[in-house]
A and B are shown apart, each in its own frame.
Chain A
């Protein structure tokens, strides 16, 4: 510590040690924050249609369009170390060959920001429930969800993604269920997935799975025919199945 340079090196060296230790304690502190996630997932309507992966493709595949209800209370996932929660709903169905694991495909997702996260255009903005008045000066208020963090109540929600199978065949597949999943992304510490079991003060997810249903036949009468619109997120340009249009030259 005899000269300025040595003192700078010593102080900075010990600063890194302290910063790392505090970060480790912060990561561990989330374990004493109780978690009681709850979710109800229900199927509204499912249709299977024939389509192609993009405009110029000759390949014909079958796409499932699933409308759903979702009611979640994940507010306990948000503690002081939560940056954001990536919430997703997936359709899970058995594979064609026995012994192979189930196929999973995400039909809807959302990025739920924590309290300290700065605004970002990709954050999920919860649709305004019917009957509530919109604020008049909507321009002045920043585009933030007016629902508390982790509360999602969706009725007859369109999917964000139409799904297909690796085989290209989806009609008449049985024992499909919708399942909720998430990633908790902390400020410091490990990325966490949804858990179904209790770990100490962290309870497993209550509900979060729908009843079993089947993918109907293409053009089946039992399935209500509805517009096959998909929900567009705030992610800007995405390639959608069958929706890419050729560029016009003029």
Chain B
């Protein structure tokens, strides 16, 4: 019981996502932060108010953190399956050691 609970806590903290999700996370980080930087500069420049640039930039960064850091279900849509298990009784076949079949 305690082990199960600990496993759940560890999974939540580690927040692992699948390979496809990792690709997306990287892309979203770059696009979102880059766009926020450009947007913040132009809004501040139009309004001639540098505090606007600061706050828009920081708000956009917070949004990016929220979008990318937690392991949202979106990032786990393509889980990598395990290899099919071998039946233990069938034994290990076709193992090649230095050109000689063993087993």
Contacts and interface: CB of A to CB of B under 8 A. Distances in A.
Contact of B71 (A4, A22, A26, A116): A4
A168 B80 CA distance: 85
Interface residues of A, number: 23
B41 A22 contact: yes
A31 interface: no
B70 A18 contact: no
B13 interface: yes
B76 to A, nearest CB: 11
Q: Which 8 A-B pairs have the closest CB atoms?
A: A4-B15, A18-B37, A1-B22, A80-B48, A1-B25, A22-B37, A7-B69, A3-B14
Interface of B: 13-17, 21-22, 25-26, 29-30, 33-34, 36-37, 40-41, 44-45, 48-51, 53, 57, 61, 64-65, 68-71
A3 B70 CA distance: 9
Contact of B22 (A2, A22, A29): A2
B103 to A, nearest CB: 35
- Chain A facing B: main interface SS: helix
A80 B64 contact: no
Contact of A22 (B17, B57, B69): B57
Interface string A86-99: 00000000000000
Given A1-B22, A25-B41, A80-B44, A10 B29 contact: yes
A182 interface: no
